[in-house]
Amino acid sequence: MKKIFFLACLSFIVFLQLEAQNTDSVWLRENYYKIERMLPMRDGIKLFTAFYIPKDSSTKHPILFNRTPYTCSPYGEDKFNARLYGTYWLNYLKEGYIIAIQDVRGKWMSEGDYVDVRPFNPTKKGTEIDEASDTYDAIDWMINNIPGNNKRVGVFGISYPGFYSTMAALSNHPALKAVSPQAPVTDWFMGDDFHHNGAFFLMDAFGFYSGFGLPRPKPTSIGGQGYSIQSQDNYDFYLKEGAIKNFSKLLGDSIAFWKDMTNHANYDEWWKARNPRDFIKDIKPAILVVGGLFDAEDCFGAWNLYKAIESKSHNTDNRLVMGPWFHGGWGGRSDGASLGHIRFGQNTSDYYQKNIEIPFFNFYLKLKGTVHDIAEANIFFSGENEWKLLKQWPPQNITYKNLYLKEDGQLSFDSIGSKPTDAFTAYVSDPAKPVPYTEDVHMGRTREYMTDDQRFASRRTDVISFTSSILQDDISMAGPLVADLFTSITTTDADFVVKIIDVFPDNFKYDESLFPTPSNSIAYPMGGYQMLVRGEIMRGKFRNSFETPSPFVPNKITEVKYSLPDIAHTFKKGHRIMIQIQSSWFPLSDRNPQKFVDIYHCDDTDFQKSTIQIFHDQLYSSKITVPVLNK
């Protein structure tokens, strides 16, 4: 009976959702019409753009513009995009916005050649183009040709469209009043999507570019198919396939950007030209940078684009939002009340949309309402599960403190003291048996790994853990972390993964009245849960320079120091803080052969074991520097 009742309730919920969607669909077609146009660019190329325009002609309407490489389909003026029926987009439609969605140059139904993260050209002249000029030309056409517009334009987009939003901001068209780069692709070598500190994120890169990177010789409404992996176990598949050059053979010669990535192993001028942070100057429109604390793809981009605008474009109205979301979770894909087994106790996505994003665009595009209630930095702190409205990021009232690694797996804010030299903890890193990034067996990369329980890793001999005593008071951390390791290795290269973990009390359970179990969740033992708060990898050969890598001298003590993306987390009283260190994170990142070679073109025979020693004595005090928020 219980099962029958559950299925009946589920069917009723689905029925209500379909009814709501049908109602919204009817409303949209009664109040909007669609046109499609090819917009001319300065070099003669035309870009396909779909417009959804209010039928109400009694007032002028602002334009909200989304540029995407992922298609503005369905094509045909009688076909409406299903995304518009969702609450996130529907909010803007009910506010009377004109919605413009464009296939970027070289993708889908637009003309021209596609270039991944096309470099910005600050000195372009005449018919020279970049994504900023394409945005400028599109806006210029729209305000002069779309009926009933108020000549005020906003641009927004998530992930790759977040990159195009940044490029839009660089266009500085006078009609462009507000831009929101969300989870923006920003730097594909240092921390977004396909590389983190030079380490290649193999699983995401291969899965994405096997389909997305296929050439498109002429405009088309049909997308390409990716490589078909005949496995349900990503760890097994990527391990058996071996070295990166074997994956290059699977893709063949047609994926241009894959070849470019593998032929630019270091942070050279080719990569630097594709980093928009280097060109963020004198931005005229207001900016709202949005990201997720637990974004597996572009967490780096959101934090660091905001900081770049702050440092290089001083007169820009620049604001930051970071919520407890996975990649794009705030944009209608999640209520943001939980991620994996971690619960946040509130609908953070709804809060963001109603209190921040919609008021932001309404103020600048409709001259409606105010932005006084939107702080400079609107940051959700996991752990205490509260929004903090801050005057700057990182907050002014933080103190950077060192968490020292100590003997017997201890972790403390107290310095090493007069301990003898040659105190270290060692492990053997074996590329034939790399540390998995999660304990589950699956094919696609999960988004929940960003808050996963790390107890599975604690039990491995090639992962070392350092744990604090039970906290007597709450400790909030707000800002970037710095790992400062003193190590010796028996080979000429190695990776280093540092994770900061919140260890829950052994008797921990969520209060169901405050943190109800998500409808799609299963029971999980939360007592002693080791929540990943932040983890990051460093390719050791880049420890001195990302432009010019250098080998390790075997068995010589060497410093490896690098930054982890910012965190906003409160370690609650009664919890403990843990630091884990390992040298593989597979198949999230590719395996380091642990030999100083060109990893993109090395052989399977180049992979070798390495004994890694992490020192924690008076002379070589390995530590993690953390930003502690003062009370």
Distance CA 62, CA 102 (A): 16
pLDDT at 13 over 70: no
Residue 4 pLDDT > 70: no
The Cα 84–Cα 61 span in angstroms is 17
Confidence at residue 15, expressed as pLDDT on a 0 to 100 scale: 42
Is the pLDDT score of 317 beyond 70? yes
Strand-by-strand arrangement of the 576-582 sheet: 464-467, 576-582, 495-503, 530-539
DSSP 476-523: EEEEEEEEEEEEEESSS--EEEEEEEEE--TT----TTTSPPPTT---
pTM greater than the 0.85 cutoff: yes
**469-473: long-range contacts, CB 8 A cutoff, minimum separation 24:** 469/412, 469/576, 470/505, 470/574, 470/575, 470/576, 471/571, 471/572, 471/573, 471/574, 471/575, 471/576, 471/577, 472/573, 473/573
Do residues 59 and 146 make contact, with C-beta atoms less than 8 angstroms apart?
no
* Burial of residue 513 (number of CB atoms within 10 Å: 0-12, 13-18, 19+): exposed
How does strand 61-68 pair with strand 98-103? parallel
* Residue given tokens 């304990």 in the structure block: 439
Q: Cis (ω within 30 of 0) for the bond into 54?
A: no
117 by Cβ neighbours in 10 Å (0-12 / 13-18 / 19+) ranks as: buried
What pLDDT score was predicted for residue 519? 79
Residues 6+ apart with CB under 8 A from 366: 62, 95, 96, 150, 152
The pLDDT assigned to 11 comes to: 43
Judged against a pLDDT cut of 60, whether residue 349 lies above it is answered with: yes
- At residue 225 the predicted structure's pLDDT band, cuts being 50, 70 and 90, is confident
- Give yes or no for residue 397 having a pLDDT over 80: yes
pLDDT of 14 > 90? The answer is no
pLDDT at residue 416 in the model: 72
Give yes or no for a cis peptide into 62 (omega within 30° of 0).
no
What six digits make up the tokens of 307? Answer: 């900081």
Contacts of 559 by beta carbon, 8 Å cutoff, 6+ apart: 484, 485, 486, 487, 543
Predicted confidence band at 419 (pLDDT cuts at 50, 70, 90)? Answer: low
Lowest mean pLDDT among 265-269, 416-420, 497-501: 416-420
Give the confidence band of 628 by pLDDT, cuts at 50, 70, 90: very high
DSSP 606: G
pLDDT-derived band at 17 (thresholds 50, 70, 90) equals very low
Instruction: Give residue 20's pLDDT band: very low, low, confident or very high (50, 70, 90).
Output: low
Cβ atoms within 10 Å of 204's Cβ, excluding its own:
18
CB contact set of 208 (below 8 Å; sequence gap of 6+)? 193, 194, 226
Q: For residue 5, is pLDDT > 60?
A: no
Task: Report the range of poorest mean pLDDT among 215-224, 366-375, 396-405, 559-568.
Answer: 215-224
3-state SS of 374-407? Answer: CCCEEEEEECCCEEEEECCCCCCCEEEEEEEECH
DSSP 3-state of 625: strand
Distance separating alpha carbons of residues 318 and 169, to the nearest angstrom: 11
Mean pLDDT along residues 500-507 = 98
Q: What is the pLDDT of residues 245-289, one digit of tens each?
A: 999 999 999 999 999 999 999 999 999 999 999 999 999 999 999
Q: Above 80 in pLDDT, residue 520? A: no
- Judged against a pLDDT cut of 70, whether residue 382 lies above it is answered with yes
CATH superfamily of the domain spanning 398-629: Galactose-binding domain-like (2.60.120.260)
**Strand 98-103, strand 46-54: pairing:** antiparallel
- pLDDT value at 489 more than 70: yes
Q: How far apart are CA 606 and CA 586, in angstroms?
A: 18
Instruction: Give the tokens for residue 139.
Output: 């806006």
The pLDDT value recorded for residue 10 is 39
The CATH code for residues 195-271 is: 1.10.3020.10
- Given a cut of 60, is residue 223 above it in pLDDT? yes
Q: How confident is the model at residue 418 (pLDDT cuts 50, 70, 90)?
A: low
Domains of the chain by residue range: 27-182, 195-271, 398-629
DSSP 53: E
Task: Report the distance separating Cα 220 and Cα 232, nearest Å.
Answer: 31
What is the pLDDT at residue 422? 78
Residue whose entry in the numeric block shows the structure tokens 């595009």: 365
pLDDT at 522 over 70: yes
Percent of the chain with pLDDT over 70: 96
Peptide bond into 122 cis (omega under 30): no
Tokens of 417: 């003291």
Q: Worst-scoring range by mean pLDDT, 227-241, 313-327, 331-345, 406-420?
A: 406-420
At residue 226, the pLDDT reads: 86
Q: Which residues pair with 594 in a beta bridge?
A: none
Q: Do residues 49 and 152 lie in contact, with contact meaning Cβ atoms separated by under 8 Å? A: no
Residue with tokens 């630097």: 272
Tokens of 585: 């994170």
CA gyration radius, the chain: 25
Domain 27-182 is found in CATH 3.10.450.50: no
Give kind and range of the element (H or E) at residue 89: helix 87-94
Give Cβ neighbours of residue 522 (< 8 Å, ≥ 6 apart).
none
Token pair belonging to 478 = 């707000």
570-607 pLDDT, tens per residue?
999 999 999 999 999 999 999 999 999 999 999 999 99
Nearest to 99 by CA among 170, 173, 155: 155
Pick the range with the lowest mean pLDDT from 12-16, 383-387, 458-462.
12-16
pLDDT class for 24, splitting at 50, 70, 90?
confident
Element (H, E) at 68: strand 61-68
Report which residue type is found at 133: S
Q: In what order do the strands lie in the sheet with 318-323?
A: 32-40, 46-54, 98-103, 61-68, 149-158, 176-182, 286-292, 318-323, 377-381, 386-390
The residue type of 577 is: I
Mean pLDDT of all residues in the chain?
94
